[in-house]
Structure 1
Amino acid sequence: MQTANLSLQDKWISFRKENPRVRIREAAKVLDSTEAEILASFAGSKVLRLNNDFPGLMKRLPDLGYLMVLTRNDSCVHERKGVVEEVSVNNPHVGLIVGKDIDLRMFFRAWAFGFAVMDDEEAGFKQSIQIFDQQGNAVIKIYPQQEDKAAAFEQLVRDFSALEQATSLVLQPAAPAPHYSDATVEPAALQEDWKNLKDTHDFFPMLKKHNVSRLHALKIAGEFAKQVSNDIVKTLLEKAAATNWEIMVFVGNHGNIQIHTGPVAKIVEIPGWINVMDPAFNLHLKLDDIAESWAVKKPSTDGVIHSIELYDAAGEMIVQFFGKRKPGVPEMAEWTEFVSSL
């Protein structure tokens, strides 16, 4: 077992020397492994395994000062810098980090493995806290940015290090895809419930009530959803940058949703990708993965909430855009006009 683990270390270091620009997530696939298994193979040296008190770990993030937090799925990477303000982990279903910079919805049931990663040039590691699901896929990565908080990082690692630094992982197969009743759901009944929504947080319970997939719900939503061109994301970002709109950008996976609220300024398109490259917010969106784009309306007590939602070929959401808003405050008029015009 130890030989196999050392071999994985060697494979990763060798691969990285030959392919320095390939990210570890993609490299793991080439090496017939996972990102979490590669990190685990270094446990006890360049990497320390953490215990599974993930709520407790998140409560300590304010100690680390200015951070970069990264959340991604297969098609989109969301990187936000800032300080962690309010942390709430008492709800058994979802933990919250709320603040003007870092805004997260954390689903701890999907969090399985945690690592503290140390700076190491040969391995290509940067100091960070990294969390993975039971399949070895990254849920969230947290990179300290303040050198004067080094002692706080070291203390956090000491407090949450696992007693055993095993260099192998026991992964689990992904849960089977949920079974939906898309073929039999009644459009009129769904539309009636949709019309009576009072809050955006009521949307998921409505889908669950009808046992309908999100994408199919959009297709039978009538006036509440319209498919639009997949080029809409470029138009949206460029218009937001040109007019200094404050928008909300949601990117997530099954373990975490990360939200940017504010303006976007530097929009950079390269072959196959569109990017936001601002000092405190980066977004990297793989354009070829966008299978469908939708303009969506949800009634609420604060007025109709409009969003743009992008989906991949499997019907999974890639990224979601809103105009800046808070509970009790209507969304910005310019955003309403933009989405309505589609």
Structure 2
Amino acid sequence: MSALNTAPQAHVRQQFAALRQQGLRARDAAGKLGISEGEALAAHAASHMHPAQEADSLYSATVLEGDWIALLQGLEAVGPVMALTRNESVVHEKIGVYRNVSAQGPVGLALGAEIDLRLFLMHWHVGMHVVERTAKGEQHSLQFFDVHGQAVHKVHARPQSDLQALEQLVQRHARPEARPLFKPGQYQPPADRPDADIDAASLDQAWSSMKDTHEFFSLLKTHQVGRAQSFRLMEGRHTRRTPLVAVEWLLHRASRGGLPIMVFAGNAGCLQIHTGAVHRIETMGPWLNVLDEGFNLHLRADQVAESWLVSKPTADGVVTSVELFDAQGQLIAMFFGERKPGKPELPAWRALAHGLMQADAAALEVAA
């Protein structure tokens, strides 16, 4: 049982509000208290507060039932919102409308022009409608957490959002009597097997035989090999390491050339995708940022421990990606050229990606 389940809820709310008012983000404020963000927000649920306490609280939260696909489908009526998905090293934000939301078993999709998601619903444990009271007025969001209270996906209302439609959606899915419980710790993916236990020749053969990039996930599962581990084992064959500054150079060059790209980022519960050109690229301290209308990316460049140039064969030709990992071997983000099934990748993207291998780190820094 976690700290929140035994600590007085009023104390959690008071301390959390004080840290937020000092300027800490909700995730960091919860961390300061030794609890998860999900736990901190759950302390503001109606089941934990009297009406008078709710009126005076910085936050209020309504727990939502677990038909996540129906809930996300209902967001279409709300209109433009901001979808946010993150991991430890990157935050991916897209503004748009949730459309074409569906699921097959525990895997869901949102296939809108702006909001493009892959949902792994086995990691979705609790959802909440969160209202934060600020100097600019009430800020509404839907926030979804895994069993450890780590955010898997968030939906933030925008000035153009239909708040009445959002309220109606919340009322349809509300479970005000619920008291969410979370487990301590964080989700840990299975550890990689030793390299010596992997049949590298079989992995190479299966890799060379791919007809679609989506086969790669089953390839990893069949060979019981981690993603970064597979890149290491196939280095020089299908993968090559790039300088760690490659992503900054890549974004600047794509911006200058108006080259449409795809940016994938996420966590165990959600993968969020941007497709299109990027324009305003800025570095602020350790953060590498894309600050465009409709798309923001905030990437901790100092946490990139590995950067790989990856080639995957398909029926439409080779597909090239640049993929970033942290020091624990966890995927941070992936970059592709814009493409649709049945179409070859853009020659300009392939040339740009392979250009990473023809310059050393110093040259890349100058070019950026």
TM-score (structure 2 length as normaliser): 0.88
Amino acid at match of 1:277: L
CA distance in 2, matches of 1:281, 1:228: 26
Alpha-carbon offset, residue 99 of structure 1: 1.9
Q: Tell me if the contact between 1:104 and 1:259 (Cα under 8 Å) persists in the aligned partners.
A: yes
Question: What's the TM-score, normalizing by structure 1?
Answer: 0.94
Paired residue for 1:52, among 53, 66, 70? 66
The answer to whether the aligner puts 1:171 opposite 2:183 as a matched pair is yes
Distance 1:236 1:125 in 2: 38
| Shift of residue 169, structure 1, vs aligned partner | 2.4
Contact kept in structure 2, 1:65 and 1:146, CA below 8 Å = no
Q: 1:142 aligns with which of 139, 146, 155?
A: 155
Q: Deviations over 1:214-244 (max 9, x none)?
A: 1111112132100010100010000011000
**Residue aligned with 2:225, SS:** coil
- Aligned counterpart for 1:187 among listed residues 200, 219, 222: 200
Q: For 1:128 and 1:264, locate their aligned partners in 2 and report how far apart those are by CA, in whole Å.
A: 26
**Where does structure 2 lack aligned partners over 5 or more consecutive residues?**
47-53, 55-59, 358-368
Does the CA-based 8 Å contact 2:148-2:187 persist in structure 1?
Answer: no
Q: How do 1:1-342 residues align onto structure 2 when only pairs under 5 Å count?
A: 4-17=8-21, 19-20=22-23, 22-44=24-46, 45=54, 46-89=60-103, 91-121=104-134, 126-147=139-160, 149-166=162-179, 169-171=181-183, 173-174=185-186, 177-181=189-193, 182-221=195-234, 222-341=236-355, 342=357
| Mapped contact 1:127–1:143 kept (Cα < 8 A) | yes
Indicate the SS of the match to 1:120: strand
Q: Distance in 2 between matches of 1:297 and 1:260?
A: 20
* Worse-matched range after superposition: 250-259 or 178-187: 178-187
Q: Give 1:191 shift.
A: 1.0
Q: Which amino acid aligns with 2:34?
A: D
Given residue 40 of structure 1, which amino acid in structure 2 is its aligned partner? A
Give yes or no for contact 1:110–1:255 (8 Å, CA) kept in 2: yes
Q: 2:49: which partner in 1?
A: none
- Residues 71 and 140 of structure 1 are in contact (CA less than 8 Å); yes or no, is this contact kept in structure 2? yes
Which deviations, in whole Å up to 9, do the C-alpha atoms of 1:165-207 show, x marking residues without a partner? Answer: 43x6232554554143333212222111111011011011111
Cα separation, partners in 2 of 1:180 and 1:28, compared to 1, 3 Å:
same
Check 1:122–1:16 CA distance in 2 against 1; reply closer, same or farther (3 A cut). Answer: farther
CA positional deviation for 1:87: 1.1
- Figure out how many residues of one structure are paired with residues of the other and give that number: 338
Separation in structure 1 between the aligned mates of residue 276 and residue 299 of structure 2, nearest angstrom: 18
The separation in 2 between residues aligned to 1:258 and 1:148, in whole angstroms, is 20
Distance 1:134 1:15 in 2: 24
Q: Give me the CA root mean square deviation.
A: 1.9
| Identity percentage of aligned residues | 38
